[in-house]
Structure 1
């Protein structure tokens, strides 16, 4: 249409010009008209082009806006039915627990795995809320990469105990031992990705390959590449992989861990990508920048004697890729390594006389092999290592004198280093020991603590007046412990890392009766902190109980060697925590758990919120529930202002998203009155009765403020 008008204008202009020329009109007038009409044509053309471009731009922004809204809808749908979903998981967990208590022979392990489902949902919800309210902070401090990998492997293998899949850590030689970065959130991201991969069916292996690249800046870049040989991810799922949702069919939350991991990686200035081919498997690639603590230290693990290097090593593993990863660990120490497949080894047993170290899959140790290895040992020094997996560590392990050491996969250089040193009975130079006062020595508890039944938050009042130091870098874990113990009357101090713990122990005006020591921490880990404390004999009588996810015999022995008295396996079990307290703090008091349990079951009533219902949704952990309430109040406590603003601006889609968030969260925390109001508002939105929404401004304000007061009252309750 625009073009037709322009063409007609040009024809008319030309006709006028020719007519004027023929009539002999003045040339100046003629050219003036030509200039005016030409200018008009150019203006029309510019207007046309601008209009066209504007339309395209509007369509582009509209498309982008719709995609953004769709992403927000998908994200908010995660919480759309949170109350019903969490309730269903809690109900299902209870039913499974009751059924398993009647039929299972291994009740503790199975029930622990069952109950952890709800606990995982609760922790993910806390992470979600903290990200929503922008409370997550990235802290860059020195840390040991091996401690992070140990923590992750211990947690994953405990969670997926008995899996047929092989978990492989393949760590390149140039990866530094000590780095500067956020170890806490790095571990969380690694764990979330591995959890996603490990839940697949018919999975043969999951491999984490860690490598380092130099950058043009002062720091380095670590690449964590996760790969599997599973079914792969279909294109539609892949497109929305980092958008979490609730799967009605399976009754589980899908992708919430990946959503949190992706957000944390972005905050750490890294990048997380994924590629997948159906029936071929998937590859997640996580890259993160770090600083190196000591750039001049090229060789991070030094064996104390030259006789320990350049050994001839022979490896046979049930998984060949795993064997290659183990080979990389040993070649780091300049060993000459030969790898043979399990199939080839079983077909024809090779001559092992020329080797110094033989590392064999534990399933290979039959009577014939044991006799053969004993014959070799009679004529030369041969070290025999049985290779097993943390995922199968509950199975019967081979225990024969021919075996010098047990090695559990997945591995890292530090554990291999320590195994070599211990296997050859070489003492690494340590701090000179003082003469210890035997009277001050305290009990060493070498097994996992048994669980005291019927323990509640009030049970810890049995230890009122005691002084405890909690050493923990995870803020959520700190808050959970503080909330758990805040009614106990225990005097609690908190250290964020090992160095702070050492300083607080030495500078404290009163002696600590117990130290709860996390192992994996930045700046100074729990092993080193304990060693530093034990240097002074005046602290010999102070019990130190470790928190750790990796409870291998070698790791437990390492704890005792550095002066730790006992350990608690992660995740925290309050019944075992009470047992630990009883072991080291209970001088005269008797266990009053049953009495406290009856007292705690009395109905608690706060306006607008059902506390008991909320605690049930938080895996019956009052400490976790309090933490969720705090995070909810921070993220949504002033949502009435947002609600009123959105309605005033007629932004009804955003009002809907806010209410979807609030419906799920209020159901999860037991805020029954607010939950009912939100359902009423969503009903009006569903039928597009937007004109009625303004009537809810005061109601929303009243309910959220009432809820805020009740939450604060409950949190402050003594």
Structure 2
């Protein structure tokens, strides 16, 4: 109780400081109006305000302060009364005394109220007997003073009584508070065990998540990496099955974690504007391939009054839709699946328009009995729970859907019968949002004016496309084959009314869609080619890879979503010249960061050797240079020394010596948020674990097992391009990578250096090293092919030609690439004669010899020479250690490599006068780390040939830090 009263007195005391000082200008203003000196009036107010302010500063809400304030409050009213003498309002100013007297009750001190009352009485007596003219200039009498005194006494009594009531109320509240506290303590004791059990459960789930995700990261990571190597069909099938099983296990883990979060009430819905139609369309596309494999047709119907943009959580809504769609496809064999979205009600409120939406997913699959429906939303329960289950799953999907919809204020229901399919109906409410940002600059009338040709060998598909365009009020021409479409385009061009847009099915008998697009491109010549859209029920990635080199504007997957088609057409014709060539297969996999980010350096902090290797490979494939650190302490040291060179830090959480959270807090001490992105890459997937990372100063979070696409998306969002590190004194002013002229000549026939540099992201040091390695490794490839053919192993010769073709294309060796391609095709044909093959190998060898000779001109003279040394002064053990240290520094492109070279030269007994003359020293001084590494390998006698096969990635850095760390 005392604490509450003291808190109230403190707030009131601070308020009075401002109140007293506010009276100073008030006094001056009143004096000015009355024709008095404002200076003296302000001075009187200042004395009162300063006196109280000083007392408050010295003693706070002590009794002395309270009593002084009571007198000063009455003094403020007395000053105003004095200043208004002779004014009609003077008698009204007496009311201010009563206001100031009432104000003192806030002190909750009856003595302060009594002091204020005495001050009022004293004031009236002074005015009556000493300064009667100030107030009672005409009718001042004792009786009148006594009347005022009686009124003041009555008010004082009321205030004292009210003060007592307030004190009693505070005391009663205090006793009740004590009782509540005691009951809360008892309640806490009774619930402690339950809370502890909940905490243990949460920690168990978090730990199990981490422990499961760590090996899962290895399984999926290695599966992804193996998929990029040369595999035969049987091996590729095994790898795909391993990845599929791993992904299924990961979905199970995610479902369990989602369900646990929902059960604990920790599911938090995000609220932001999103495109509702696109969200549903994306989920349909995700199940389209599984549906096609099972012969299931998926149809979408979105009502015309469904708002284009709503405010809510698109990820959770998508989770509901994909669960229902996946189940519908899974439990159907043939037939159809329909997904519909309608507005069933609109509501207006203070926050704007809200729509009650109904999402319906219907199938004609196996259906369910009433008993199965009753257990449908129970966790870990499935309609088919027999020991001979035909359908997999966790039994959590629908339970999670129910939780999400209830969180949205909605519901889910089902109608089903055995053998007659199932219909799930979800209701939820969302606020309608304004128009989303869009790049559309084309009106619908402009779209209607386009001339369109649709080509598809399937009559039903042609009818569907015709119906979509007809709904938009557009007429289109139809063709049933590539030949028919080609004839239509030729005729339209001859009549000078060419088609603006051509939609082509990919897989058609005879002339397929890609071939048709190629012919249209050839016939267009230098003139404009119609905007070309490829439609396919197969893999979009495969279609784009096959269309490489053809100006395909876009590839859309079947079944066609009308809104997606309209959006694509609008975008393409808003930027008519923005047709793009189909991306190569490496880009289709989306495993590389944006071009302007490639070659950036990142710090990877990971203590698990397998995870470190996988993450390094993924980041390297993404086009980044990787520095490894096995714990937080090493990471902090690296950031302190080389932080300006890092575009981001990827940080594990659980590590020895110093964990990721502590390391992040340490780094943030010198590099605050917004300077160096720190991204958590950890097996911890719980929301609270993610929040711990963010609270420690990390910018974002990605859970293991790491999806390469998700990792690249995260890097594209957060990477901050940095300027390459500058040289220190005595070591030059810029890195070799910053200036290709330091490493490569202007021309190097027959290498197309401009093309090759572009393929390696402009990294001249990397290209130089690749060319030197090419000169060492591919000089005798023709001989190796002849030997393989002599042994009766044409497949070995074909693999060598294939590998050479890949490397030659990456290094700009166009003639070698062409010869290797022709030879590979020849070796694929069983009917090829040995004479023709020998002729192609001879032609390839001639082109190779010129390239190898040019590559060998880049080798460092004397790189293989031994360092002249004084054997008596040499310390072989110390020299070996110094050489290993030098190699590590060269791998990290550290400027400390010069210091390490001096240590190595000293330990090797090299005379001081000769140290700066050696090629290794020259390479270190000009920051040619690639050449220096080559010389170190030769000195150490462990030079290893670079291997370039199908897995060679021209945009990836040359340094595999894990592998080279193990080698050193």
Shared fold (TM-score greater than 0.5)? no
* Greater helix share, structure number: 2
Q: Which TM-score bucket, shorter chain as reference?
A: 0.3 to 0.5
* Greater strand share, structure number: 1
TM-score by structure 1 length? 0.44
TM-score by structure 2 length? 0.34
Structure with larger RCO (C-alpha < 8 A, sep 6+)? 1
Say which one has the larger Rg: 2
